[in-house]
Every structure is written in C-alpha cells, then in structure tokens.
Amino acid sequence: QVQLQESGPGLVKPSQTLSLTCTVSGGSISSGSYYWSWIRQPAGKGLEWIGRIYTSGSTNYNPSLKSRVTISVDTSKNQFSLKLSSVTAADTAVYYCAREAVTTMVRGVIIYYFDYWGQGTLVTVSS
Amino acid sequence: SSELTQDPAVSVALGQTVRITCQGDSLRSYYASWYQQKPGQAPVLVIYGKNNRPSGIPDRFSGSSSGNTASLTITGAQAEDEADYYCNSRDSSGNLFGGGTKLTVL
C-alpha cells in the first residue's frame, strides 16, 4: 500500500520561501508511470494544483504560480519536494502531495488520476 | 485560461439519485476524475476515466461524460456520501480542479 507523508515547517514568514517534502513509502518513486504532484487548499476553499514532477525530473507548474514554484525529486530518498518563494498570507493553506497515475486504456486512450494522497499539512504564512 | 465549473451546492434526499456536473473545455480532450472530501480529511478518488471505480468505492458511484461536461452520479445516496466533490482533469498547462460541489443528503 503506497503512502505519502508531507513534512516541513508549519509557519513561514512573509516574503520567505515555503519548503515541504513528501516521503513516499510502500513503493519506489521511480517505478511505474506516475507523476508526483503538489496540491493546496486554503481554509474553506477548493483545491488548487501547484505542479508536478516526473521521475525523469521533468516538471509542469500552474501558470499562476510558475514564477515562484520549484519542485524537485530525490529518488535515493524516495522523496519529492516543493519550494514556493516570496510567500504572502494568500499562500496559507493545507498542502497535499499526491501521486498521479497514468493508465492507457483500450484504443490508446490515456487517463490520469490522483490515486494516492498525503494527509496534508497546514502551512501558515504570518510574521 | 481554462477552468472547470461546478455547481457550488447540491442536495439530495436520502436514497435518491443525484448528479453532480463539471464543465470545461479540457473535458473535450481529457477524462475527468472525481474526488470526495470530507471535513478535515484528504480527498479520496471515487471515479476515474470513462467510468472506473477504485477498489472500495461503492457501486452507487458512477461517472459519465459528453462533450465538455463530465458527471458524477450517486444512485441511492447515503448519509455518508455528504461531502465536497471535486472534478479534475489535465489541460494544456497541467491540471485543473473544479471549484467543488457541496453535497447535502437530506
């Protein structure tokens, strides 16, 4: 059973960099057709996709956050990480890491879905 | 920019059928996936692809799609189905989530 666990500071000062790590257990981060994503949710609001990384190191980011986001992977530790720079109070949220599976169905149709999620970690931006 | 649109709130009588919809241009190219989220918990995948349920998800949950609209149907809603539901799809930039639908079971 794959498990994901977020870790990192729960409090970050404005203008600083938010750093989180997701540790994957129960399977290798390098095996299979999976992308590894970060998703966040401000209190009382909806989910926002932040970005993803493939084990090759290729990344995609939400255009609205792209200038401030870096996602990296450490296959030796079975971890991937998020850095979000120049944070403000608007970045206060529960941050989730998630595995995105890629499955090829009949007739070559490819489907994508988040099959495993971490429990989430609250990050508050405040001085 | 692309977006996925969901009704903010829907209600259903216990045991009745409810459909939750998600609209967006990306759904013409990619299948939606659906997530159930209860207060204080991480989202849980309930439907993916054309109409696939992960192990452990009751068969009262089903999915469908047509054009730019994806739908999640709960046939015979139970009290435990009361939750927020989010649709998601890939798009040209990455991934999109709908704004979420709060389902109330009366």
In this prediction, residue B93 carries a pLDDT of 86
**Residues of chain A with C-beta less than 8 angstroms from the C-beta of B88:** 47, 49, 113-114
On whether the CB atoms of residues B60 and B103 are closer than 8 A, the answer is no
Confidence tier at A109 by pLDDT (50, 70, 90): confident
Calpha distance B24→B55 (Å, rounded):
28
Q: Considering CB atoms only, which of A49, A61, A105 is closest to B97?
A: A49
B76 secondary structure, DSSP code: S
Which residues on chain A place their C-beta less than 8 Å from a C-beta of chain B?
37, 39, 46-49, 51-52, 60-63, 96, 100, 103, 105, 109, 111-115, 117-120
> What would the mean pLDDT of A99-126 be, rounded to a whole number?
93
pLDDT tens digits along A24-36:
999 999 987 899 9
Indicate the pLDDT class of residue A22, thresholds 50, 70 and 90: very high
* φ, ψ of residue B28 in degrees (nearest 5): -75, -20
Question: Does residue B28 contact residue B66 with C-beta atoms inside 8 Å?
Answer: no
What tens digit of pLDDT does each residue of B14-57 get? 999 999 999 999 999 999 999 999 999 999 999 999 899 999 99
pLDDT-based confidence at residue B1 (cuts at 50, 70, 90)? low
